[in-house]
Amino acid sequence: MKTFRIGGIHPENNKFAHSSKIETIPLPSQAVLYTTQHLGAPSTVVVAKGDKVKVGQLIAKGDAFISANLHSPYSGTINKIEPICDISGYKKMAIVIDVEGDEWEEDIDITPDIKREIKLTPAEIIEKIKEKGIVGLGGACFPTHVKFLIPQGKKAEYMLINAAECEPYISIDNRVMLERTEEFIIGACILRNALQLSTVHIGVEHNKSEAIEKLTQTAKNFQGVEIHTLQTKYPQGAEKQLIKSITGREIPSGKLPIDVGCIVNNVCTALAVYEAVQKNKPLISNYMSYTGKSVKTPKNYLVRLGTPIRNIIEVNGGLPEDTEKLISGGPMMGKAIANMDAFTTKGFSCLLVINNKEGKRKESINCIRCGKCVDACPMGLEPYLLAPLSEASRWEDMEKEHVMDCIECGCCQFSCPSSRPLLDHIRLGKNKTGAMIRARNTK
């Protein structure tokens, strides 16, 4: 069975919501849309206080090379435009909409009809993806259209879809593959066509047998769709590991997937591309899991962007009594939610409830030089060395030890018998080292 060679771990899957069908969260009375819901420059607001908007209307334009358009998920009135705290507690410019209904722009197809024929040319596909504000929904929220602007001298040879969903707890990709199978595959074919390739490769971990079976059967109705069954191992869905597993190619240090002829997108991105290209629908909602060991009924939802996080909690009857903290994303790569009064964004794939038992960190002791963090690291790094370098603010030494190759997967911290916060130190060091490198390159 296909997998990557170096490192990896096997945490508990805890896919409690895997059998929960996707439901829809009711529209809020007021919504907040941050103008930075993607990697890159903030979008430029193109509406003003008092303006009336419809669902799908452009409200902020991605003018920079790496940026993304933002569209209204609601019909209503612009209440105000001002900085508002996001889930991290930092203020970001935001557009506040008083929700007054659900009136859509007339050129958006909201029927359930599946459109199978792909009529757009590769250039038109890329332009449509840009126009509709599609970003990578696997975590980083990198503007999708930018990936398809291939640099001169490079060539895309593989279009890969990450359907591994290796992060514990999160089940939404699995549900999308089961419930919107054909639309997802058409979206994958659209991405393939944008690169003028003959085949799209979809990698799924073997513990999702129902999804693999349904994808395999549905793919028979399409040309150039290959389903790859991957070993269940974390972080199988990480870009570099997925490429190694499916193509056998390794990305050199400091290089990108396109340097080995690959482009990777994930399940929900492919579905969003289908809706953009075939239905003219912007990215105005996201699919997410609401789950945790103490959550009585884990759920999967389709949520409009800008929905208050508290609304999701209230729909589920409030938080469990033993809640310790909330995480946006999974337990390995997710981020703790510092502000419960924040609102959903394009990359909000999971609201994970951590109880007080699993939320308590064990007391950290000195490194015992066991090497388990080295064995676990899928990038072949030495976390036991990088962490103390970060504590000592030795950024140049961290650069020499290839800290910029770290994918922040958390395998090292998970494996450490001394309970050392390795990832915390390495992530800080990587940020500082990256800033040092950028400053040096601008001189």
**CATH code of the domain in which 125 resides:** 3.40.50.11540
Q: Is pLDDT of 443 > 80?
A: no
- 404 phi and psi angles, rounded to 5 deg: -70, -10
Sequence-distant (≥ 6) Cβ neighbours of residue 149 within 8 angstroms:
126
Q: Is pLDDT of 133 > 80?
A: yes
In a domain, 178, yes or no: yes
Q: Residue 129: its pLDDT value, please? A: 98
Q: Residue 139: its pLDDT value, please? A: 76
pLDDT mean over 297-312: 97
- 389 phi and psi angles, rounded to 5 deg: -65, -40
Distance CA 443, CA 96 (A): 40
In a domain, 184, yes or no: yes
pLDDT mean over 369-390: 97
CB 63 within 8 A of CB 46: no
Tokens at residue 411, please? 């395998």
Tell me the pTM.
0.95
309, 340, 360 - which closes a domain: 360
Q: Residue 14: its pLDDT value, please? A: 96
Q: Is pLDDT of 362 > 90?
A: no
Q: Residue 47: its pLDDT value, please? A: 97
In a domain, 38, yes or no: no
In a domain, 252, yes or no: yes
Q: What radius of gyration, in Å, describes the C-alpha atoms of the chain?
A: 21
Instruction: Give residue 140's pLDDT band: very low, low, confident or very high (50, 70, 90).
Output: confident
Residue 231 and residue 134 in one domain: yes
Share of the chain above pLDDT 90, in %: 96
Residue 218 and residue 317 in one domain: yes
In a domain, 342, yes or no: yes
pLDDT mean over 286-311: 97
In a domain, 90, yes or no: no
301, 325, 360 - which closes a domain: 360
Instruction: Give residue 138's pLDDT band: very low, low, confident or very high (50, 70, 90).
Output: confident
Q: Residue 360: its pLDDT value, please? A: 84
Domain count for the chain: 2
Distance CA 15, CA 321 (A): 21
The SS3 assignment for 83 reads strand
In a domain, 33, yes or no: no
- Give the burial string for 287-308 (b: 16+ CB within 10 Å, else e): bbbbbbbbbeebbbbebbbbbb
Residue 435 and residue 382 in one domain: yes
Q: Residue 285: its pLDDT value, please? A: 97
Sequence-distant (≥ 6) Cβ neighbours of residue 288 within 8 angstroms:
172, 300, 301, 303, 344, 348, 349, 350, 351
Residue 328 and residue 180 in one domain: yes
Q: Is pLDDT of 299 > 90?
A: yes
> Which residue range(s) make up the domain with 436?
372-441
Residue 170 and residue 292 in one domain: yes
